Amino acid sequence: EDQVTQSPEALRLQEGESSSLNCSYTVSGLRGLFWYRQDPGKGPEFLFTLYSAGEEKEKERLKATLTKKESFLHITAPKPEDSATYLCAVTTRPIYNQGGKLIFGQGTELSVKP
C-alpha cells in the first residue's frame, strides 16, 4: 500500500536554529512529491514540487530535497513566521486520471520561538 510518513510529529525551534523535517514514502512509482504549508484554521498552501532523486528547490529559508525513499525540508535560520504545519504528499499517477490522488502524510507541526 502506498504510504507517506512524516517525522517528527512536532518540532520546536528557537529563532535562528536550523533544522530539517523528514518525509519518507513507500509508493509504487513516484511521479511527484509535494510540500505544503498549513497555518492554523487555513487550507494548505503549495510550496514545492520535486520529481526525481537529487532534485532540490529553494524558497527563502526553505529548501526541499529528494532521494529515492525520502524528502527533506531544510529550514535555515527560521523565524517565528515560519511556524506552521508542513505537509508532504506524493502522487503515483496524474491526479486527474482515474484512481489518481495526492497521498498526504500526517504533517509536522513546527513552532519557532523568538
Residues forming contacts to another protein in the complex (CB under 8 A) are 4, 31-32, 34, 41-46, 49, 51, 87, 89, 91, 93-98, 100-102, 104-107
Backbone φ and ψ of 19, nearest 5°: -165, 180
Query: CA-CA distance, 90 to 88, in Å (whole number)?
Result: 7
Amino acid at 31: R
The radius of gyration of the chain's CA atoms, rounded to the nearest angstrom, is 14
Q: Please provide the distance, in angstroms rounded to a whole number, between the alpha carbons at the two ends of the chain.
A: 41
Please report how close the Cβ of residue 104 comes to another protein at its closest, in angstroms: 4
- Give whichever of 4 and 78 is closer to another protein, judged by the CB atom: 4
- Give whichever of 37 and 72 is closer to another protein, judged by the CB atom: 37
- Give whichever of 78 and 107 is closer to another protein, judged by the CB atom: 107
Please report how close the Cβ of residue 7 comes to another protein at its closest, in angstroms: 14
Nine-digit cell string for 33:
512529491
- Give whichever of 2 and 111 is closer to another protein, judged by the CB atom: 2
